[in-house]
Amino acid sequence: MLHYLKQGIAPAARAVGERVILQNVSRRAFLKGTASGVGLVVAMQVVPFNSAGAFEQYPTGGLDMPNGIVTDPHVFVSIDPDGTVTIVAHRSEMGTGSRTSLPMVVADELEADWARVKIVQAPGDEPKYGNQDTDGSRSMRHHIQPMRQIGASVRQMLEQAAAKEWGIDPSEVKAVNHEVVRLEKVGEGMAETDQRLGYGDLAEAAMKEPVPAFEDLSFKDESEFRYIGKGEVQIYDLHDITTGKAIYGADVSLPGQKYAVVARPPVVGGKVKSVDSSAALAIPGVEQVVELPGSMPPAKFAPLGGVAVVAANTWAALQGRDALQIEWDDGPHAVYNTEQYHQDMSATAAQPGKAIRSQGDVDAALANAAKVFSAEYYQPHMAHIAMEPPVALANVADGKVEVWGPVQSPWGTREDLAATLEVPVEDVTVHVTLLGGGFGRKSKCDYVLEAALLSKEVGAPVRVQWTREDDVRHSFYHTTSVERVEAAIDADGKVTGWLYRSVAPSILSTFAEDSGYQFPIEYGMGFADMPFDIANIRCENGQAMAHTRIGWFRAVSNIPRAFAVQSFAAELANELGRDQKDFLLELIGPARIIDPKAAGMPEDLWNYGEPYDVYPIDTGRLRGVVELAAEQAGWGKELPAGEALGIAAHRSFVTYVASVVRVKVEDDGTVRVPEVHTAIDCGFCANPERVRSQIEGAAVMGMTLALNSAITFENGAVQQSNFHDYDVARCDNFPELVVTHIVEHPFSVHASGVGEPGLPPFAPALYNAIFNATGKRLRSLPLGDQLKA
């Protein structure tokens, strides 16, 4: 799907890929408020092409325009007369650094001074800015080369303008740190003179220059990068975030706005039978009580419904909600109980399921095995628990809809607003604030729709604020699952057969009528794409109907699959008297590129939106991170009693990650993590500072998931409510030292995902370490009190 341009390779060498079309843009067409007195504005669009040069539809992602041109992404760059370079960030910022890293690439190739770069957040507008979904760990891997191209194009336009100003050939000038410098011949080479023009001085003249064709562009050599790959650029908003000046969802206000909270049905699909709002309306500050319609799944991101209290301030709204007397009709999902559902999934996993991958003859391998070993692993639902609960401000007036909020999918939010309020999408504006964490929760815009519906009802701007309890009890949850693995082992201790059954309600139930089965995207997350060197493999999916809202979660189904596969690999090693690391490498097998078809994988198996020929399953790279993490952690070294190392590795989002977790298990069963070593192979690493940050964050989140995270249901309702019963890693117990080892690659090796891949290996590495320290094998997430019991 995406073929990055390599330095020195002409477009003809790219059989099918993307051509980047650049154009001058009128100042009026540029984003309002971006700059004043703009001298130069350039926009870029990425257009797929085939070998004949004809435009073709982009198969996935982006916006499929009627004429076949796909804008994925548009990037706007402007230069003011004072030299300020403004770059529009088209993706949301929630800690991953995409709002910094992508403009950083533009600035490097532009030879701009980062101190003079201004970044402006784009509103939700995919026809103008291209795909805006900040998800799938794909921002950098999809956009690094287009960002370089626009930077190189603007730089070359500035150089051309300077050459004309001096009446010389463009080969006699060079852009250097926000200026164009005149060169003079010295011996066999060219040297800089004192004659130079600033970018601001050249901006208006550069606007008159034609945008260079790709064939005429010259890119920097890797040795000339100033920011790319250096890890020295801090996130753009760091100062404002650390000093409290950053604007998050709850920081936006409008004159005359109202404040609202919503009493939502405790069971998904539930409805209001009756409501007595008299006590609520008697509370000072409460102005109105509004009933919101609910919906039964599949309902995409529609609000759950319920009763909203609108007030002059949030406190009054909360007090009013507490005073409501509501009788609920819980509906059909009131039957949902966690323990019974766990048993049902386990029973399903014990039976043959829908065959997803079939390689060799697993039944014969099991029948002829010297030993058969099996185990079952369980993971409950999990909540995203971002530090910033959902919040949105909406103003619906005069047929127009304007909202402000922390959303991961600005254009999707805009489309859903238009559909919900029955207005043209052109009459909807979505302003994106900083996100105080997202992890997939803020891809779903139900909280924004609530604010818009209430604003329309009360005739004033309305901010809907979710509390922590709302966030825990009414989320889109990470799916629950049972993963059952059975291995055939021959007389030589070699694994000859692998039967893997996965049972979990599917995220597809949020969007379509629920079949109870997962779909190719979920199959491609560490399940049917498992890279072990085993002759006979069968993967089966059992039916599990959803009874709550299932949503994207950081790393998604890779979490239970990595937990099961990597725990089982360690259990097999112990069963056979083998070293965990050595046996894992044996299972991975020799370095090779896996042919999905030859390995019995389904043709439509998801590869994170990428073609297998560009991003293959490369076991050599998986082996590499295992060996690197083990070496750096001192695998095999003597440790004090109660301490041990555990290892796990996983490929996700076309990136390879291995973690070695050191645990210390105290006498009362408390688990501490003094040290983690994680090796990541993410191709070319554009921003090492952000990669380290993401791996450190994955370790903290991984510890939260492994030790504490469990959303449980009783009679259809979530039992947890806040941090006292849905705990997170805290300052008194978190991974104390996380060391990130980045596998170095040149620019020619495609960049891959970073935000999510660090999470899946953590829990199995931790559990494997616990086993090595205590001899106790645990197969259920989270740990909770299992060791203390």
pLDDT at 39: 72
User: Does CATH place domain 338-382+476-774 in 3.30.365.10?
Assistant: yes
- Nearest CA to 375 out of 491, 500, 490 is that of 500
Kind and range of the H or E element at 421?
Answer: helix 410-421
Q: How confident is the model at residue 68 (pLDDT cuts 50, 70, 90)?
A: very low
Kind and range of the H or E element at 769?
Answer: helix 762-774
Kind and range of the H or E element at 673?
Answer: strand 671-681
Q: Judge if 11-241 and 249-332+390-465 fold alike in CATH terms.
A: yes
Among the ranges given (207-211, 420-424, 759-763), the one the predictor scored with the smallest mean pLDDT: 207-211
The residue-averaged pLDDT of 67-86 equals 68
Q: How confident is the model at residue 45 (pLDDT cuts 50, 70, 90)?
A: low
User: Does CATH place domain 249-332+390-465 in 3.30.1540.20?
Assistant: no
Q: How confident is the model at residue 67 (pLDDT cuts 50, 70, 90)?
A: very low
pLDDT at 13: 23
Close Cβ partners of 223 (under 8 Å, ≥ 6 residues apart): none
Q: State pLDDT tens for residues 246-297.
A: 999 999 999 999 999 999 999 999 999 999 999 999 999 999 999 999 988 9
The rounded distance, in Å, linking the Cα atoms of 778 and 188 is 70
pLDDT value at 25 more than 70: no
Alpha-carbon torsion 426, 429, 434, 439, what sign? negative
Question: CA distances (Å), 597 to each of 358, 359, 365, 498, 600, in order?
Answer: 10, 9, 21, 18, 5
Judge whether 671 and 783 are in contact, CB under 8 Å. yes
**How much is the mean pLDDT over the chain?**
91
Q: Which residue has the tokens 């210390």?
A: 664
Number of H helices, E strands in the chain: 18, 30
pLDDT at 23: 53
Kind and range of the H or E element at 732?
Answer: none
Q: How confident is the model at residue 214 (pLDDT cuts 50, 70, 90)?
A: confident
pLDDT at 212: 87
CA 246 to chain centre: 22
The rounded distance, in Å, linking the Cα atoms of 167 and 173 is 11
Among the ranges given (37-46, 291-300, 315-324), the one the predictor scored with the smallest mean pLDDT: 37-46
The helix, strand and coil proportions of the chain, stated in percent and rounded to the nearest 5, come to 30, 25, 45
Q: How confident is the model at residue 26 (pLDDT cuts 50, 70, 90)?
A: very low
* CA geometry: angle 14, 98, 146, nearest 5 deg: 25
Phi, psi of 467 (to 5 degrees): -85, 175
- Nearest CA to 3 out of 756, 615, 653 is that of 615
pLDDT at 240: 93
Structural domain boundaries in the chain:
11-241, 249-332+390-465, 338-382+476-774
pLDDT at 213: 84
pLDDT at 41: 78
Top pLDDT among 137 and 39 is at 137
Percent of the chain clearing pLDDT 90 (strictly above): 85
Among the ranges given (9-23, 523-537, 624-638, 706-720), the one the predictor scored with the smallest mean pLDDT: 9-23
Judge whether 695 and 680 are in contact, CB under 8 Å. yes
Q: How confident is the model at residue 38 (pLDDT cuts 50, 70, 90)?
A: low
- Nearest CA to 622 out of 595, 596, 569, 584 is that of 584
The rounded distance, in Å, linking the Cα atoms of 532 and 542 is 22
What is the DSSP secondary structure assignment for residue 304, as one 8-state letter? -
Judge whether 375 and 571 are in contact, CB under 8 Å. yes
pLDDT at 737: 98
- Residue 109, helix vs strand vs coil: helix
Beta-bridge partners for 198: 179
Note the CATH number of domain 11-241: 3.30.365.10
The two tokens of residue 196 are: 């130079």
- Nearest CA to 693 out of 21, 96, 88, 24 is that of 96
pLDDT at 44: 58
Kind and range of the H or E element at 501?
Answer: strand 495-503
pLDDT value at 127 more than 90: no
Task: Say what the pTM is.
Answer: 0.92
Q: State pLDDT tens for residues 542-582.
A: 999 999 999 999 999 999 999 999 999 999 999 999 999 99
The residue-averaged pLDDT of 500-513 equals 98
pLDDT at 19: 41
The two tokens of residue 744 are: 């170095």
Judge whether 691 and 685 are in contact, CB under 8 Å. yes
Close Cβ partners of 12 (under 8 Å, ≥ 6 residues apart): none
Q: How confident is the model at residue 55 (pLDDT cuts 50, 70, 90)?
A: very low
Query: Rg of the Cα trace of the chain?
Result: 28
Among the ranges given (135-149, 357-371, 504-518), the one the predictor scored with the smallest mean pLDDT: 135-149
The rounded distance, in Å, linking the Cα atoms of 768 and 762 is 10
The residue-averaged pLDDT of 674-698 equals 97
Beta-bridge partners for 189: 186
Alpha helix ranges (H) inside 195-351? 199-207, 238-243, 278-281, 314-323, 338-349
- Residue 570, helix vs strand vs coil: helix
Q: How confident is the model at residue 731 (pLDDT cuts 50, 70, 90)?
A: very high
pLDDT value at 164 more than 90: yes
pLDDT value at 146 more than 70: yes
Q: State pLDDT tens for residues 350-401.
A: 999 999 999 999 999 999 999 999 999 999 999 999 999 999 999 999 999 9
Q: State pLDDT tens for residues 334-346.
A: 999 999 999 999 9
